[in-house]
Structure 1
C-alpha cells in the first residue's frame, strides 16, 4: 500500500548501529516512495555521521542519560528532556515545513523529546522495537503510540500491557538497508577469491563478546582446515584482532584459506557469499542473516540485558533456519561436531536456507513503511 500524497516523516534513532541502520532502511524505503524524511538525533553520536552520509536532513537533539547506579542523575536528565521537548514543540509550531505528519521512534533514549512533543501536538506516533526485550524509551512511549512494529513476536505481550486500546501492534521484522539486501554471491566470492566449489564459513562476533568465539574457533583450526575446499573469513572486532591472529598462528599456506580481519566491509556481499555463518545474535545480525537467507550457527552473547539475544536467536532456530548454542556450551564437543557436520553437508544448509527465505525478512522495510503510511491515514 502506498499513499497518494507526500508525507513528512520524522525519525528518531541513535546511539548504536542496531538502532540507526533499521531506521535508515525505513527512511530509504519511504524516500523511494516519494515521502520526505528528517532525522532527529545527537550530532556527536553515530547517527550524526551515518544520517547525513545517507542524504537525509538531520535535526540535532541533545539528551542527557542517567546512571542507574547514581539515581540523583535522573533529575538532571528529566529537566534536560523537558527542555528539549519544549524546544521541539516551539520549532514545530513556528515552522509549518518542519511539522511532521507522523513520527517514528526506534527505541533509543534520544527518541523521547520527539515522541513527547508529538504526543503534545497530536501527531501520530509509531515505534519500532528491534529486540526481544523492549528498551526503556519504547516502553515509556508505548501508551502514546498508534503503531508498534516489532521484529520478535515475544514482545507483543509486553507492549500489550503498556499501550493504549487503539494501538496497532504489527510484526514487520527488522528492516535491513538496501545496500545489504543487494548482496551478491558472485561479487562477494570474487572479492574474496573464493571459488564456486569451495565452502565459505563466515565468523563474526559483533562489537560485544567476540573474544570467546575467536578463542573457540582458533582451537578448531586443524579440524576446520581438514575439510577439503573450506575457506574461513573471520571478523574479530578491532580489540580482538591481534589476540585472534596470535591464537591462530596461521602458516602462509593456512592464511590463504583463513582470512582474519578486524571488520567486514560490504556485509551484504559477505553474507550472500557465505555457505554458513557463525555469529552472535544481536538484533541487526539476526535481521541481516534472515534477510540474506544465510544458514547460521548462533551463539547468543550471555551478558545481554535479560538474555535477549537468546530470544532473538530462537526466531531463526524455531523456523529451522539456524542452530543455537549457549556461550558456555561452545567449548563442548557437541558444538564442534555440529559445526563440522553443517560444513560437510550442503543438503542440511540448503534446508536452513529455504527456511530462512520463508520468513520473508527481506521485506521488513516495505512492511514497516506500509504500516507507517496506514497509521497516517488512520490519524
Structure 2
C-alpha cells in the first residue's frame, strides 16, 4: 500500500460533478488515503458526501449570474473570504491541510483551489464534459494535473494556459455501486428471461420528452418481437404524459415497464442488451463502463452542443450509434433501433468495442495520477 495521503476534493451542485468525485474518493479510501470533501451543505454534495461516509468541510460561495451583473461583487467577496478562511485553516491544522487538492469543475472548487495554490499544495482538476466550465478554465494554468474524459477538450485547456504535460485522458470515474451491477439480478427484477432482449430507455434525471414521444409511436413495432422487453424511464415531469401516450394494455405491461426514474442503474445497465439515451457525461461513462451497446440522441440545447461531442467517445470506437434529435422521427432511426434489437451479432461487436475503452478503470487511473503529483 502507498503512503497515506490527505486528499481534498471539491465537487458540487449536480450529480454529474458529485458522483465522479465520490467514485474517485471510494477508490482513494480503498488505498488507505484520507479523503475530505469541500462543498455547500445546502446543495447535493451536502447530502451525498456524508451518506457515503466521507468527511465534509462546508464552504459558502455564490455564483455570478451573467444576467445580473451586480451579483459579481458579492460572488468575488464570498470567494475571497472563503479562500482566506481555508488557507488559515490549513496553516493552523496540519491534519486538515491536504497533500493534494482536486476540483471537479463547479464554482465551489475555487476557494479550495486558490487556498491550495497560496500554500503551494499541488492542484488537480477533473473535467467530465467536452466543454469545460468557467471554474476549471480559470484554474487550468495552475493545475499540475488536468484529467479529462473527452479527448477533444484538451485544446480548450491549452488555450486557457494549461501545461500540455499536465493534461491526461483518464475517463470519467463511475461509482462502484454502478460498476457492481449484476445482469442476473437486474433481469430478475425486471422479469426478463435469459433469452429475452432488454431495451433500456432514459433521458437523464429530467427525462427527454421527444424520446418519450417517439417511443410511444414505436411501441407496437418494438413489442412485435416477443423476445423484446422494455424498461422506459421518462423523468418525473413527463411520466404521466408518456404513460398515457403509451396506452399499454395489460398484456403489453408484462414486457414494457414505464417509470419516472431508475434507482438501481448498475443492475439495469448490466441487464440491458441495448440502451437508448441522451449523451450526458455521466450517462456516457456508465454506458461505457458496463459496455452496453447504445443508440445515443444528444440533447440539442446543451451548451456548445457538448452532448454530441460526448457521444463521439462511444461512436468513434464503434460502441454506439448516434442520431440528432431532429432526426429521430424519421424511418432510418426506427430501422436502426429495431435492427439492433434483432441483431445479437451487431450488439456483441458494439459491446466488445465499449470494453476496449477501459472506462471501468477511470477511477483507478485518476487515483494513480493524483498519487503521482502528490509526491
Decide: shared fold, TM above 0.5: yes
Structure 1, unmatched stretches of 5+, are none
* Aligned twin of 2:111: 113
CA shift digits 1:175-225 (9 cap, x unpaired): 001110011101111111110011000000002451111001111011011
* Aligned twin of 2:282: 284
Partner SS, residue 57 of structure 2: strand
1:248 to 239, 243, 246: 246
The whole-number CA distance in structure 2 between the counterparts of 1:192 and 1:144 is 49
* Aligned twin of 1:160: 158
Q: Say if 2:199 and 2:228, in contact at 8 Å, map to a contact too.
A: yes
The whole-number CA distance in structure 2 between the counterparts of 1:152 and 1:308 is 10
Q: Say if 2:296 and 2:320, in contact at 8 Å, map to a contact too.
A: yes
2:318 to 297, 317, 320: 320
Q: CA RMSD in A?
A: 1.0
1:186 aligns with 2:180: no
The whole-number CA distance in structure 1 between the counterparts of 2:356 and 2:350 is 10
Q: Say if 1:126 and 1:145, in contact at 8 Å, map to a contact too.
A: yes
Q: Say if 1:101 and 1:124, in contact at 8 Å, map to a contact too.
A: yes
Partner SS, residue 203 of structure 1: strand
Superposition pairs of residues 63-74 of structure 1, within 5 angstroms:
63-74=61-72
After TM superposition, give the deviation of residue 76 of structure 1 in Å.
1.1
1:143 to 141, 144, 157: 141
CA shift digits 1:224-281 (9 cap, x unpaired): 1101211000011111111110110111111111101111111011001000000000
The whole-number CA distance in structure 1 between the counterparts of 2:326 and 2:106 is 30
Superposition pairs of residues 348-359 of structure 1, within 5 angstroms:
348-359=346-357
Structure 2, unmatched stretches of 5+, are none
CA shift digits 1:3-25 (9 cap, x unpaired): x3100000000000000000000
Q: Say if 2:207 and 2:237, in contact at 8 Å, map to a contact too.
A: no
* Aligned twin of 2:262: 264
* Aligned twin of 1:77: 75
Partner SS, residue 316 of structure 2: helix
CA shift digits 1:97-127 (9 cap, x unpaired): 1000000100001101100111111000010
After TM superposition, give the deviation of residue 163 of structure 1 in Å.
3.4
Partner SS, residue 195 of structure 1: coil
Number of corresponding residues: 375
CA shift digits 1:55-111 (9 cap, x unpaired): 000000111012111112111111111111111111111111100000010000110
Q: Say if 1:145 and 1:167, in contact at 8 Å, map to a contact too.
A: no
